[in-house]
Amino acid sequence: MGVIIDLDKEGSDRCDHVKLGIILINLIGAPLSFILLLIGILRMISSNKRISFLTSLVILIFSSEIVNAISKMIQLIKYCFEDTRMDTYDNNHMDNPRSIICQIQIVLSIFSDYCSLLANLFLSKRCYDVIKNKIGFLNKQKNIICPITVSILLSIILAIVLLFIDRIHRSNRFDIRDRCSYWCWLDLMPSIFCYVVYLVILFINIFFAFKTISCLKERYKKIFKENYISDVENPLSENSKENCSQYSDFTEEEKKELKN
């Protein structure tokens, strides 16, 4: 057994100084996130008779973040079991109840992170295609299930593989990994690999973000030039937006596009 406000000395001043704040953030933030995300999903589902591709991806992102909140909240279950962190046995003794919960936390957290990143990647690609008026694989309604399935399956595979690598190359026991963080995470080497994959997905997302912004600016300039407006050096400036409302040469469709 153990106490929820676990402030026993951890042998590190760094842990002692930050532990209470981390515990409070976890106890308050995780349940609050869970509730707000669930409300968001229910509102999206109830307000859309026909859920679009983009809405489906947003729901997937919200759902994966709910899994992340759950991974933090199950920390409380650990305190139903004996605290063996101070016991002197070797690393091979790792499947006590707290260690098992710790490994579940790791898998859920990794799954959540990758699923959110991959869903965001598909979301960015879809937004880019819409701006470019490109007809691609993601434009077809029947293909909605594909990116969702890929995001979920690939995230599950990566989470399980990283945990398997961790179990093989671990340098410390699972049940002692929540001493500073109040939840468990990967050992050093698997963690580095995990973060490298994060960065790869993030950089691809950033690439599509800049491409989309560039396309928006080009389209904005084109509309102004077509209507003989010379002030297009900074098409997204407040001055240009004011000019937009001053000219009556625009069609209603063009005005709507500029506003969007």
pLDDT in tens, 148-159: 999 999 999 999
d(CA 59, CA 38): 10
Same domain, 180 and 248: no
Whether residue 7 lies inside any domain: the answer is no
Same domain, 158 and 248: no
Whether residue 1 lies inside any domain: the answer is no
Same domain, 164 and 139: yes
Whether residue 6 lies inside any domain: the answer is no
Whether residue 31 lies inside any domain: the answer is yes
Whether residue 190 lies inside any domain: the answer is yes
Whose CA is closest to 170, among 184, 189, 156, 183? 189
Same domain, 207 and 157: yes
* pLDDT for 251: 67
Same domain, 134 and 251: no
pTM of the model: 0.80
Whether residue 8 lies inside any domain: the answer is no
pLDDT beyond 90 at 165? yes
Percent of the chain with pLDDT over 70: 73
Same domain, 24 and 102: yes
Q: Tokens 């409302």 — which residue?
A: 245
Q: 198 falls in which pLDDT band (50, 70, 90)?
A: very high
Averaged pLDDT for residues 102-109:
95
Whether residue 222 lies inside any domain: the answer is no
Same domain, 55 and 156: yes
* pLDDT for 150: 93
Report the number of distinct structural domains present in the chain. Answer: 2
Whether residue 146 lies inside any domain: the answer is yes
Same domain, 206 and 232: no
The 10s digit of each residue's pLDDT in 27-36 is 899 999 999 9
Structural domain of 258: 227-260
